[in-house]
Each structure stands twice: as structure tokens, then as C-alpha cells.
A and B are shown apart, each in its own frame.
Chain A
Amino acid sequence: MEAVGLLANPWWVWIALLFVATIAIGIVAILGGVGGGVLFVPLVSSFFPFHQEYIRCAGLLIALAGSLSASPILIKRNLADLRLSIPASLIASTASIFGARLGISLQANVMQLAMAFLMTGIVILLITAKKSEFPDVPTNDAAGNFLRLGGPLLPSEAGGKSEWFVRNTIPGFLLFAIVGFLAGMFGLGAGWANVPVFNLVMGVPIKIAVATSNLVIAMSSTTSAWVYINRGALLPLVVVPSVLGMMIGTKLGAIFLGRIRTSTVRTFVIALLGISTLISFSKGFGIIR
């Protein structure tokens, strides 16, 4: 390839910008305590020229790659609970297929509007949702007992407790159907919803909820990703730099964690999502292209 040809053809500019943007998204996601997937799709949809389906497919694959990378470590440290994740994953991944199918069948401007409404809900959730480090659940409910959920808490995580249990097991697992559906439809990682369901609805300690969410994301992203891939929505030029950028960004974010005030970053992230939501509304209503 000639250098003059490269400079005249800006395709590589977009890809380079995408790579840098996903590094930044990865850093900010870790520092802000927000999933990379929930930032990637709305931000890239707002500022890059790629069709939504390629972005959603890339979003699912980013979420998958990230969770595959993190899950083994979390399992080894007894933070991610397999017994909790397996039924949740099955429900979420089944629903994500239907979500992906609906997302593909809707027109682009309808999807933009739908995503704008979803992002509005996510922004509100991020602002208002509380975390419960060690929910007060004295024992498993009947379904939790039947599935033999719960487990010991590490002494460093215990907060005075020796074991954790679950409540609202069936309603909680049923909520994963909604979460999986939305994740498949919009190509978002589902951490923003998995964690509140595990933590606030089912009473799982926050660190176990966050870690187990990774396992659920791995499964639900896989099934819905295949729906997009089989439709031809995998564009390597979009996916590969995005996955690499996100992985580099999350590693850097982990390094910076503790050195930067995370509440400030979180406020910045919420503001960024707000701007992206406005852009999505504008695109959905045809105000901007």
C-alpha cells in the first residue's frame, strides 16, 4: 500500500479512533464502576459511522471477551459462584436470542429511539441505585435451598458474617429473562442489570454479585452474538480493534484504580451517557443523521 493512498483514505482514521476510544472506554468503565459494554454501544453509535448492527455485535463480543478474561480469576478466588450463575445464564442466554432477533428486525431509527429510552433508564439506575455490601439474608428461601445456593464468605469479605444466602430466587432468576432480552437486543453487556438483580433483589453480597455477573455475561453474550454473526454483522475491522482496545483499557483502569477519585469518574461517565442518550434521541427522531 502506498503512503499517499493511506493518507487519502480515511478508513484507517476511523479504526484508529475506535481503538483509542475503546481504550478510553475501558479505563473509564473500570474507574466509574460501569460496564464497558454499556458505554461502548451508545457512544460508538453516536460518534462513529458504522451501522448499528456491527456495533451491537461488537458490543456483545467485547462483553464476552472481557468476561472470559476475568471469570477464571474470579472463580479461583471464590468470588464468582457457579451454582448461582448457571441457572441465571441459561435464562439470560435464552432470552438474549429473542432480544437479538427483535433488535435485528426493527428499523434503525426505531432501535435508536429504543436505545435512547433504555439509556435513560440506565442513567437513572446509575444515579439512584444503592449497593448493599452484605444484604441481611439469614437463610435461603425454598428455591435457594433446592438449588443449594449460597456459600461461605472469605474472612476478608465477611463483614461479620460467615455465609451468604439468597432470597427471591425465582423472581430474581425470572428477571434475568428481561436482562438477557435487553442485552441481546441492544448488544450491551448486562452487568448494569445483573448486579442489581443479584445484589438488591436476591440479596447476594456485592462482590459476589459483580463477579458472578461476569459468568452470566459470558453465556448470554455468546448466544446472542451468534444471531448477529450469522446475519453477517461481524465486521472484523470494528470488532478486533474494539476488543483489543477494551482489554488494554480495562487493564490500565485497574492500574489507575485507587489513584483517581472514582466518584468523579462515575459522574463523568453518567454525563457522557446522558449526552449519548440525547444523540440517540436525535438520531431516532431524524433530527441528526
Chain B
Amino acid sequence: MAQMHEVDYRIHGDDMQYVEIELDPDEAAVAEAGGMMFMEDGIQMETIFGDGSQKAGFLGALVGAGKRLLTGESLFMTVFTNRAAAKRTVAFGAPYPGKIIPVHLGEIGGELIAQKDSFLAAARGVSIGIAFQKRLGVGFFGGEGFIMQRLQGDGLAFVHAGGTLLERALAPGELLRVDTGTIVAFQPTVDYDIEYVGRIKSALFGGEGLFFATLHGPGKVWLQSLPLSRLAGRIYAAAPQRGGGREEGSILGGLGGLLDGDND
């Protein structure tokens, strides 16, 4: 407990949120490089190699940084330390529409497995490492790949995901079938597996792919209603292709473009 920094926070906004973290003097928060929205005077920003939790010197930092490289994260993290004599605030913005979830790692057994890229910020002392999915089938078809983020410690961590968040505690043996890709995070006690949808017809036309992800309790799971990849897919599909515009169902069709004047 001693080395974790207790932080107070407030989450603002509805679907495009940011989290404001209040730091006592000499308290610090870590965040992905590039996540900061604003910071008050007195907060000092320092970029560190690795995730800032290693104490083993340069080699430890190098290993931490190497693992971060594997997850596709930046090699660096940023530490925000309050050097002022009074409380100061730093804020981090979510990178796309969705919700920010605060997770008290201490209350859930000290460990959270999250989809990669979902980490936003944490109290200093939380280690942001990677966890490998060792099962081939789950790694290939589970929707989260082979590499996930492992947040360890007993402080507060902020995780971000797309759309609306569902937090649910599963009882032992309780089963939830979910669409692959909607998993944001779970406690390590949750049994995460895949299940074939069962019928060729469903597999091809059901729109859910060949596999469900299955989550068996006990433990908490967090699901997102709109994975970024799905949002990006829809935006890409609706984006003007070859310079043309797509009207919102105008009965004029192609002629509509001739009539309204404010298009470039």
C-alpha cells in the first residue's frame, strides 16, 4: 500500500470523457504518452522509459519498454508529479467516444487483464505490463489477440473503451457469450474461451463471425458496446469515396448534389 499513490478523481462528459485527477503534493500519476489534456501549474511532466513501476534500474526499464513495444504502445510513458505545496489537477482525455472506467485494483485482487490500448492513466506505482494469451484458439479467434495488458498494483487505474460500458460480476460458473472484440477487461479469475457459433448458416449470415467469446465466472468483466474497430469500419464505409459525397437518403439522389450549394 505504501508505494501506491492514492488519488482523487472526477470524470467529466458523457460520451467523450476526460478524467480529472487531483494530486496531493508529491503524488504522481502515469499515463500513455500523448494522453494529457491539461495540467495545472506546479505539475511537472516527465517522460520515462518503460512504465515507471520497475525498480530494477536500466535493464528493468528496458524489459518494460520492450514489452510495451510488443503491445504496440509507445516506448515511453509520462509521469505527472505534483511539485507544488498544494493540491493540483491534471486531466487526461479519452481518445475516442466511449467511457472511462475507474478501477480500484486493490479491491479486485490487485490485477486486471485488459485489451491492449485501453489503458488511459493510473496512480504511480501501478505496473502496466503485458500478458500473453497462451491458448492458440483464443488468441486467434477470441478477438483480443495474443497480447493483452496486465495492470497490477493496488491503486487506481483508468481504462477507456468505446460506446457504453457494462460492468458485470459473474458468479462462479455463470456463462456470458459475447461478441468477440467487445471485451474490455476482466479479472484474471474469469475463464475466457471461445465457442463456435454452431451452425454454418449462423456463422456466415449471423453477422457475429465464426466464434463467440465465452466468459465464465467467478469475477468481474467489463464490456464495451462499440469497439473502436466497428466504429471505424462504419465511418470508413460511410466516408465519401473517390471524392464523392454520400447523401443522407435524399430523394434527389445524384441530382441533390447539383442543387445544394455549400458543398465544396
Partners in one complex: no
B contacts, CB < 8 Å to A: none
